[in-house]
Chains A and B, each alone.
Chain A
C-alpha cells in the first residue's frame, strides 16, 4: 500500500522536528491521562445514579409526618396505616426506613459478647408490612409472619426477649456466613439479637458505589396504639403513585391532626435529590473535558498548518514528480496518526499515574483498561479531525510551487 511506503519518509521528516513532535506527543499523552480519568469519574457517577436500590421504586412514596409532643392527637400508628391503606390507589403502607432517605448503618456482631463487629450494614426497621411495601424479593427462607413479630415498644426500649426475625440480603449473608448457612443463624446488632428467617436478593441503603451498599438487613415490629412520627411509606398500585401518595397524605392528616406533615416525596424525587450534587460536579467535569479536547485539537491543527506551510516547496516537488493530491493528504494524515499513537502509548502510563494519585487522594476506584482504549480511539479521531484542514490545504498546493524560489 502507498501509505505503508510513506512511513519511513514520515519518520525521517519527523526526526528533524523532534522538539515539536515530542511536545505534541506529550500534550496528547497528558490529555489522554486527564480525559481517561475524567470520563471514568463522570461515567461512574452516571452509572451509580441508575443503580437500583432493590425496592419497587416507581411505586413507593414517603410522607414525613412529625408528631408534636404534648399536643392531643387521636391517631395511632396502626390507625394511621389502616387509613392510608384505605386511600384510593394505595396497595400497602408501612412505617419505617427507606433507601436514599433514612436508614441506620450499624455494626453487626456474630456473638452476644459484641466484642468485635463483623462488619457494618444497613439496618432497615419498621412496622408490619414494611417488607411488602418496599417490594423486596425473598429468594430463600420465608417472609415475615405477622404472628412472630416483636412488639414495637419492646424494640424501641431494647427489651425484646427473643431474637427478632430478620431478612438479610444475599450479599450480607455471603459476607457474614461464607459457607452459605445463614438461614436460622442468630446475629446481633448493638441492642438486639436477630434470627435470620430469609434472604432477599438486593436492598441497597445508599448508593455510594462501594460493595457494602448491598449489605442490608430488614426487621419488622408490630405497631398498634402508639403515636409515633417519622417516615410513613406508601406503596401504590402500578402507575398510580402521584394520586395514591396525595390521597394517603390526606388520609394521614385527617387521622392525625396533631402531626406536622412536613414533606411528601416519591422515590424518584429522593433519587434525584440524592444525586443532584454529584451529577452537577459531573457536568463541570464534562465542561473541562470539552475544553481539553478543544485545546488539543487547536494544538494539533496549529502545528500541522505550520508544517504544511513550511513544506510548501517540498509538497510542490512531490506533486511535480507525480504524487496525487490523495498522496499528499494521506502523508499528513499518516504523520498525525503516528504522532497520536506515540502520545497514546505514553498516555497509558500517565493515565495510570494520575489514577494512582486520585485513588490515594480522593479514594477513587482503579481505572479499568477499556477506558484507555476509548480514550485512545477518541484521540485518534480527534487528531484526524484536527489535521484534516491542514492536510486538505497541503493537497491543494499546486505543483508549480516547486519551480518558484521562495
Chain B
C-alpha cells in the first residue's frame, strides 16, 4: 500500500509542480536555518576532550567571608593562592594541574632581538599528560622541575615558528620577563573548544602561545596580571600588588580521578580540607565544596554564547513559520484533489487510507525539503564561518547532522500535514463525485 501511496504522491507532485515546489522550498528554508543553528549549537556544546573528559574534575572550595552581601551559594570558580597551593599538595589524585595565565615580555636570547608580549599558561607538569597535549619536539617538564622552580618553557607550534622558524628548538634559550628560560618542548596545535580548563576569558578563545612552570612563573615580577582576578569586599586595589591576598581568587585547578572510589575519596578530602581550614579560622563558612566533572562544569558555566542561544530560538521560529506556510499550501493542495479523493472513497477507500495517502504525500515533501535544506544549511554554516566571532571555527558540518536534518524535515512536514490530511479524509464522497 505504501508503494502505491508513494506513486500517487509523486504523481501529484508532477501534476502541481508549482505548489509542491513552494512547499518544498518553504520546508527547505526552515530546515536550512534551523539546522545551521543546531550545528553551531551542537559543536559549541560538544565535548572538548572526548575519551578523557570522564576522568577530569574541577575542585572548588569556599574561602569567602560568611556575610558577603549578594553572594551566591556556589563557591568561587577559581582558587585563592593559599587554597591553590594546599590543594596542589594534597596529593590524593593520580594527576593534578594547577594553572593561571597572563602575558609576558619575551625575546630571543640574542643582542637586540625585539621584545614582544606573549600570552602564556603557567601550570604544573601533569597538565600535558592529563589533557593529552601532543608534542612535536621535546617533552613536558618534570615534577622535579616544578619543585625546583626550573626556568623551562614549552612553546606552541605557532610561537616556535615565529621565534625559531619551526625548527627543533629544544635546548635553546629565551628571555622571558628578563629571566632566561630553556625550551623543553614544542606542542602541536592544541586548542580544545570550549576551552574548558579556563573559561575566564571566554569559552572559545585562542590557546596560549607558551607554557611555564607555575611556581617559576610566580617568582617573576608581579605586574603582568594573574588571569582575570576576582576579589571580594570593597577594596578595588585588592590583589593588585599581592596575588597572595586572601580575598582574591585567580588560579584554576583540575584533577584526574579514574574510578568512582577515587572521586568519592577526593570529595571527602575536599570536605576534610574545608573543615580543617574552618577550624583554623581561615574559612568562615562550613565546608562548601564542589567536584564537577568536565561536562557538568561546562553545563554549569553555560558556555554557549547568548547570541547563539537567541539565534537558535529565532531559527526555530522561522521553521515554525515555514510549517504554518506549508500547512496552508497543503490545505490548498489536498482541497484541489477533492474530486480524486471522492472517487477513491466512493470506490471503497476508508478515511484512514485517504489520511495515510495524504500523509505520505506530506512525507515526500519533507524528504524533498530536507534534501534541498542540506545545501542551504551548508551555505548557512559557511556564512557563520565568515563571521568575525570567537566561535566561528566551530561552525562545521557534522555528518551526524545529515540524519538530523532529514529527520527534522520529515517530522516537520508530517506535523504540517496532519491537519490538512484529516480535512481531506473527511471529504464526502457523494458530493465530490456529483460535481465531477
Contact = CB atoms under 8 A, between A and B. Distances in A.
B34 to A, nearest CB: 10
A122 B185 CA distance: 44
From DSSP, what is the main secondary structure of chain B's interface residues? helix
B311 A281 contact: yes
Interface string B312-351: 0111011011101101110111011000000000000000
B29 A190 contact: no
A158 B241 CA distance: 12
B310 A295 contact: no
Contact of B328 (A23, A38, A68, A310): A23
Contacts of A34: 314, 317-318, 321
Contact of B221 (A70, A281, A294, A305): A70
Interface stretch (B48-56, B229-237, B289-297): B229-237
Interface string A182-224: 0000000111000000000000000000000000000000000
A284 B311 contact: yes
Nearest to B178: A70
A23 B331 contact: yes
B115 interface: yes
Given A34-B314, A362-B306, A69 B221 contact: yes
Contacts of A374: none
Nearest to B116: A260
Given A68-B115, A70-B177, A276 B223 contact: no
A283 B310 CA distance: 14
B389 A280 contact: yes
A291 B324 contact: no
B321 A292 contact: yes
Contact of A66 (B30, B33, B105, B314): B105
Contact of B234 (A20, A27, A114): A114
Contacts of A47: none
Interface stretch (A134-142, A144-152, A163-171, A296-304): A296-304
A162 interface: no
A31 B332 contact: no
Contact of A27 (B237, B315, B324, B387): B324
A106 interface: yes
A215 to B, nearest CB: 17
B140 to A, nearest CB: 27
Contacts of B33: 288, 291
A285 interface: yes
B318 to A, nearest CB: 6
Interface stretch (B3-11, B17-25, B401-409): B17-25
B211 to A, nearest CB: 20
Interface in B387-414: 387-390
A284 B307 CA distance: 10
B136 interface: no
Contacts of B313: 361
B389 A303 contact: no
A30 interface: yes
B162 to A, nearest CB: 15
Contacts of B235: 190-191
A299 B223 CA distance: 63
A259 to B, nearest CB: 8
A295 B387 contact: no
Interface in A32-75: 34, 38, 66-71
Contacts of B222: 69
A104 interface: yes
B25 A260 contact: no
A190 B237 CA distance: 8
A277 B307 CA distance: 10
Interface of B: 18-19, 22-23, 25-26, 29-30, 32-33, 105, 115-117, 177-178, 221-223, 234-237, 306-307, 309-311, 313-315, 317-318, 320-322, 324-325, 327-329, 331-333, 335-336, 380, 383-384, 387-390, 423
Given A30-B321, A68-B177, 18 more contacts: A23-B324, A27-B325, A34-B314, A34-B321, A38-B314, A66-B117, A69-B223, A260-B105, A262-B117, A277-B387, A287-B380, A288-B314, A292-B321, A295-B322, A298-B22, A298-B25, A302-B328, A362-B310
10 contacts: A20-B331, A68-B115, A71-B178, A260-B115, A260-B117, A291-B318, A292-B321, A295-B30, A295-B322, A295-B325
Interface of A: 19-20, 23-24, 26-27, 30-31, 34, 38, 66-71, 104, 106-107, 114, 158, 189-191, 260, 262, 276-278, 280-281, 283-285, 287-288, 291-292, 294-296, 298-299, 301-303, 305-307, 309-310, 354, 358, 361-362
Q: Would you list the 10 A-B pairs with minimal beta carbon distance, nearest first?
A: A69-B221, A23-B328, A299-B325, A190-B236, A280-B387, A70-B178, A306-B332, A302-B22, A260-B115, A281-B307
